[in-house]
Each structure stands twice: as structure tokens, then as C-alpha cells.
Chain A
Amino acid sequence: MPLDFAKPTPPSDDKRWKVVQATMRRNGNRHDALIETLHTVQESFGYLDDDALRYVAVALRVPLSRAYGVATFYHFFRLKPAGKHTCVICTGTACYIKGANQILDSIQQAYGVKPGETTADGQVSVLTARCLGACGLAAAVVYDGEVAGKQEAGAVLERLEKWVAP
């Protein structure tokens, strides 16, 4: 079988693929750029789908299974689209001591979503992080990238109520 080293074409003509290609080029299209490239894909598209994984794998000449293995090993990578909003609950030690689990429980009770899941209306993804490094402010919760300290279940639910469709 002839080895096909032709450059693969991106899954779509979305301009964001240019950014992804730039990352690969900056790293010499070497296979050790896999993680860096996946970061760029996730930054650009919000998550990694099969098409993206296949494209990146072929472009960097990484076996498909390896690309998938890497993408699922690291919990920072998402294989499904996130909700419109994200709510990240820190589950570091200090936040645990200060009730992070109660926050998670109350969210699950109110909306039926577990960490890693998105509300049925696609509005909010509930995620957990292993210590945001804001232990001084435990319990910490990040709403759409904005860190809020000293959170309690009540305050979190109030905040989420504004996002979730009634």
C-alpha cells in the first residue's frame, strides 16, 4: 500500500481550523504536538468530536486509537459539546471541607445533572475541577470563567436559576 503523506483536509471550511493548523505548524506537525493541538481544538470549538480527532490524528500521523486514548485520558478534554454556560465546582480539599459536595448534591437534586453533565435544555454544564488554587476562598465555583469564592448551595442554585430555562 502506498503511504499517503498528503496533507489531510479539515473536516469543514470553518475558519477556526486555520487556528488549529497554525498550532500544528508551529510544532512542526510532529506527533508530540497532539496534546497542544487538542487544546487548540477545544479552545476553538468547545469540544473534540470524532471528526476533529480523526483530522488531527491524520495530520500529525498519530494512530487513531492513540489520539482517542490521549483525549480520554485527560479529563480537561471534552468529547461532547458543553452547555451554553458552565458552572465549575472546585472539589479540592479545602472546598470539600467547606461543603463542595453539598453544592453538587443540591444541583443534582434541583436539575438532575451529575458532574460532567449538561442540563436537559443545553443551558448549563456542571463540571468539577480538582482545586482551582483558590483554597483561601473555599468553596470556589467558576461561573462562565469567573471565579466566585465562599459559595454555598443556596447561592449557587440562585445563580443557576438565571441560566436554566424555566
Chain B
Amino acid sequence: MTLEELLQRAAEEREKQAAFRHTIRVCVAAGCLSAGSDKVKAALQAEVEARGLKHTCQVKGVGCLGLCSVGPLIAVDDAYCRNVTPEDAGGIIDRLGDRPAERLYLSAEMPFFARQQKIVLENSGRIDPERIEDYIAADGYQALLYALHEMTPAEVIREVTESGLRGRGGAGYPTGLKWSTVAKADGGGQKYVICNADEGDPGAFMDRSVLESDPHRVIEGMAIAGYAVGANRGFIYVRAEYPLAIQRLRAAIRQAERAGLLGNEIGGTTFDFSIAVRLGAGAFVCGEETALMASIEGKRGQPRPRPPYPAESGLYGKPTLINNVETFANIAPIIRKGGAWFAAIGTEKSKGTKVFALAGDVQNTGLVEVPMGLTLRDVVFDIGGGIPNGGRFKAVQTGGPSGGCVPEQYLDMPVDYESLTKLGSIMGSGGMIVMADTACMVDVARYFMEFCMTESCGKCVPCRVGTAQMYGLLTRITKGLATAEDLQLLEDLCDMVRNTSLCGLGQSAPNPVSSTLRYFRDEYLAHIAGRTCPAGKCEMVADPEKEVA
């Protein structure tokens, strides 16, 4: 397909859509699906059909509308409806063009919707993820064909560099710099592009949502990357726990191939690019880039020391570009609108927006995309609606098992890579768990340590044994069995595991402990010296003497 043909198709599709007076969008991403949104969609469709409105009102399944906690969520033109049941279908159609019934109505003006700024999620909840036409009508694949026809690879990289985009997989490495390193590497004719969709952080579902809601965006970003760095094969490594995302991704790849947007001689140029899906199999460590590549090669997903970095020697020993789903999802808009446009959003060092999966003790749980630099307070209290049932805020956890907890006094810090690191947490991939004062911080640290212990690949000693030792110590603390020496040993282990582990998993495994020790040390001491859990969560062993013996 040439650029002209693509624009032509986009115009046709838009015209078709404009013919409908009303559009009802029903979220069919995993969250709402599990609440029964497919039945709601069927009921709405039947109702439209029965009333002969087929040509004036379209009902379409779309990706995530964001506010997962009140699903099934639908949008009737520009108004949102929450907790919709199939029985509501008739009433909704009755009031088309009017405000929906009060019981269902959610204003698009509420801060949850109004304060977001969508780049990555611009199509989520708008387009039908299973139809490439919908994506094309939303300017999809224009960036790819424009890049192929009008830009050199170096120009593409310059644009990405200028945008200031940093990796969204956790570490925040400058994307443009990574691309130019891979572009310069000599692969003897073979290089690879990998999209990291392993999303192992147990409290994060941004990447899943992007793949379920707008899979073509990721494909387009990867193809542009392939062109920029000189690779003609791509892999998307998705965790097997995301069947819906996998299914939609596979369908999208087939559609793109059929449309000539993947495969050989894309857009009539000499550029070839194909993408294969590879499934993870339940191992958090496979999100680490060298482990991920081992896994694609069919091996145990164990990391190896870097250097050499994947950019020099990656998959099958060839130069490999590896980026996160959200990173790739930012590429098409950057090419379409220019790096300078993107760089104007966010803070000095953290550009653009970030998608967060907001969950835990917070009123509005779901997916939000906000410009970098918004404060944590804005996210938790304004967008998130604060703590439900009049609870008191205690901490917000970012970065999952590699991150830390931020307490109340730092809620006015801006959300950006540097600020969160300074607070002893990390931006991470975007999991944001809010905790009320019913949460015990030692217990939370223990939860994450248990996670790291069972997810440790077992290759290096500090991570394999160190996490198990730390978990044991934290368990003793939560049972009221620990001594002051235990706490000292715990702190020594934190330092040692952080500095000696082979990969990021071990190096960051102590973070949840260190950060809670930093801000909630008194809670640890209460467990140890006072043998009480201030949050009332942990049960102390009645007779410590007996337990130790």
C-alpha cells in the first residue's frame, strides 16, 4: 500500500463512520469483559437491530475506556455509562442523543477523564482493536509509510532523539540513543527488533491494555524502529497470561500483512519487516532483556552479564533493539507530529506522558495516562478520587517489586524518573498501588520479597539465597520473632544483594525493604521491640521462646 492509497482508505473509512448519527462504544478489554461487557454489547446490538436503527447507530467493541472499577463501561457518543447490564440496553437506546439515566451516567468532565492527556492511549476506547480499518481511519500507519518514503533512517532516529522519549519499561534509558547504537552496530546483515510485552510487575496492566485496545500502534512503532536501525525481523514477547492480548495481536499482524504493511517491500519500498509473537511462560525475570532473549531462543530464561549489551550482541548473537510496548506505542505520534511536539510535553528530563495502572485502596481504579510532572497527589486524589470509605492514605507504591513506597509527605513530588528515584522508588513500568493505613508496610515488603524470591532465576548466589534469607527475616519480623540483630542483618543483606546481584531483579529486590525502612522504620521497630503490628495486619506468635526452639 502506498501513502496515497492509505490516505484514501482512511478517508473512506472516516466517511463510513460519519454516516452514523450515534456511536456506542463498549469496552471489550479484559477488565470489562470479565464483568460481562460482551453480553452488554450483544444486547445493545440486538436492540439497535430490533428498532431498525442499524444505519444510524453503530455499536462497536473498543479497547479500555480506563475506569475499570465500574465496568462494564460504555460510551454513548461522548457520555460514559458505568456498571451497564444487558437489561439497560433498551433504556440506553431510548435516550440516544439525550443524557443517559442518572444511575449510569459518568460525566466526561470528571477529573478522572478530564485531567488525562492521551498519546499512547489516544485510540484506546475509540477504535475497534480487531479492525485495521479503524486504526487506519485514526491516521494509523501514516507515520510508517511517511518514514519509509520521506525520511532516511538517520532522520527517523533524529526525530526520536529530539522527542526526548525514554524507555517506558522501567529504567528510562533514552530511546533515541539506544536506536542509534543499534543502527551503528554491524550485524553482518541481520539485526532484530524486540518488543518487551512481558509485563511481569504484579500490579501493572498498561501494556496488556495497549495490546488489547490498539495492537496496530505497537506493530507500527516496531516497523518504524526496524527501518531506523536496519532490522527486518521483529519479535513480540508476550506473557502467556494475556490470552486476549495475544489473540488480538496475532490478528492484527495478519491484517497488517494482508494490507502490505508488514512483510516484503512495505509500501512499495525495499524495506522488509516481519513480526512473530513469542509467548512467555510465567517467569518475571524474562522481562529482563537478556533473559527475554534466552527465552526466545528456547532456553531457560536466565540473564547473563552485560556487557555485551543487546545492541552489540543480542538475540542469536546479533545486534538487537529491545523496547517496551509503551515505548513503541509512542513512536508513531512522534513521527507524525514531530519530536519537538513531544518534547514540549512533560518535564525537562522526562518528556511526554506516562500510563499508570492505578489500583489498590483508591476510589477510581483503572488505567490513566498523564503528562510527566503531574504530582502524585494529583494522580491519587484528583484523578484517583482518593481513598474509598473514608480511609486514610498511607503510601503509594510505584515500580512493583523493583520499586518502593512513597509516603504522604512526598505526595507533592512530580511524577518523573528522577524524582521517584530520589525518593527511593522508581518510575517502573507504571504500576501504582495506593495503600490505606490498613496496610502494614512490613507485610508489604515481605510480599514483594516473596515475589522476588520465587521469581529469582537461581543463577547467581546473592539473588537466589539473599532473597530467601531476607524473606525469612521479614517473616520473623511479621511474626514478632525478630531481634535487633535480625534487623541489622536485613540491612546488610539489602546492601549486599543490591550491589552484587547479576541482573536487575536482584539489584532492585531490596528496594521495597529499603524504602519502607526509610519511611516506616517505626513500624519495623514496633514489630520487633513492641511485638505489635500498628496496622493490625500481622499476627504475632504468642510464645516466641517456644517458636525459636
A–B contact (CB under 8 angstroms):
yes
Residues from chain A with a CB closer than 8 A to the CB of B300 are: 69-70, 73
Chain B contacts for A62, CB-based, 8 A: 298
How distant is the Cα of A149 from the Cα of B32 in the complex, in angstroms? 10
Kindly list chain B residues whose C-beta atoms are within 8 Å of the C-beta of A98. 360
Q: Is the CB–CB distance between A74 and B366 below 8 Å?
A: no
* A135 with B34, Cβ < 8 A, contacts A92-B203, A93-B400 known: no
Bound-state CA distance A73–B459 (Å) is 11
Q: Are A35 and B359 in contact (CB under 8 A)?
A: no
B501 at interface (Cβ–Cβ under 8 A)? no
Question: Taking the complex as formed, is A96 at the interface, i.e. its CB lies under 8 A from any CB of chain B?
Answer: yes
Does chain A have a CB within 8 A of B208?
yes
Binds A, one of B6-14, B166-174, B275-283, B492-500: B275-283
| Residue in B69, B209, B296 whose beta carbon sits within 8 Å of that of A137 in the complex | B69
Interface flags for A129-166 (1: CB within 8 Å of B; 0: not) read 11111111110100000111100000000000000000
Once the chains are docked, how many angstroms separate the CA of A149 from the CA of B72?
12
- The 0/1 profile, CB within 8 Å of A marked 1, for residues 230-242 of chain B is 0000000000111
Contact A136 B204 (CB under 8 A): no
- Chain A positions 77 through 92: 1 when the CB is less than 8 Å from some CB of chain B, otherwise 0: 1000000000000011
List of A residues within 8 angstroms of B367 by Cβ: 136
A120 to B: closest C-beta gap in Å: 25
Q: How far is the CB of A65 from chain B (nearest CB, A)?
A: 11
Q: Residues of A contacting B451 with CB < 8 Å?
A: 130
Would you call B34 and A70 a contact (CB within 8 A)?
no
Instruction: Tell me, in angstroms, the Cα distance from A140 to B33 when the chains sit together.
Output: 13
A52 at the interface (CB under 8 A from B): no
Beta-carbon contact of A76 and B240 below 8 Å: yes
A94 and B200 CA atoms in complex are apart in Å by 14
Q: Could you tell me if B301 and A73 are in contact, using CB atoms closer than 8 angstroms? A: yes
Contact A36 B278 (CB under 8 A): yes
Query: Is the C-beta of A114 less than 8 angstroms from some C-beta in chain B?
Result: no
Q: What chain A residues lie within 8 Å of B359 (beta carbons)?
A: 93-94, 135-136, 138
Q: How far is the CA of A37 from the CA of B217 in the complex (A)?
A: 29
Q: Which residues of B contact A129 (CB under 8 A)?
A: 241, 282
Would you call B370 an interface residue if the criterion is a C-beta within 8 Å of the partner chain's C-beta atoms? no
CB <8 Å contact, A93 and B203: yes
Stretch of B85-93, B259-267, B431-439 with 4 or more beta carbons under 8 angstroms from chain A: B431-439
A residues less than 8 Å from B298 (CB atoms): 31-36, 62, 70
B284 at the interface (CB under 8 A from A): yes
The answer to whether A93 and B397 have CB atoms under 8 Å apart is yes
A73 pairs with B68, CB closer than 8 A: no
Bound-complex Cα distance A125 to B277 (A): 29
Residue among B33, B69, B199, B296 having the largest count of chain A Cβ atoms under 10 Å: B69
User: Chain B's nearest CB lies how many Å from the CB of A55?
Assistant: 16
Known: A32-B298, A137-B69, A146-B34. A97 touches B361 (CB 8 A): yes
In the assembled complex, 9 residue pairs joining A and B whose CB atoms fall closer than 8 Å, in A order, are: A39-B279, A73-B300, A74-B280, A94-B360, A94-B433, A134-B31, A136-B71, A137-B31, A147-B33
Known: A32-B298, A131-B204. 16 other contacts (CB 8 A): A35-B279, A74-B280, A74-B281, A76-B281, A76-B282, A77-B281, A77-B282, A92-B202, A130-B200, A130-B241, A130-B282, A131-B203, A132-B241, A135-B204, A136-B357, A137-B31
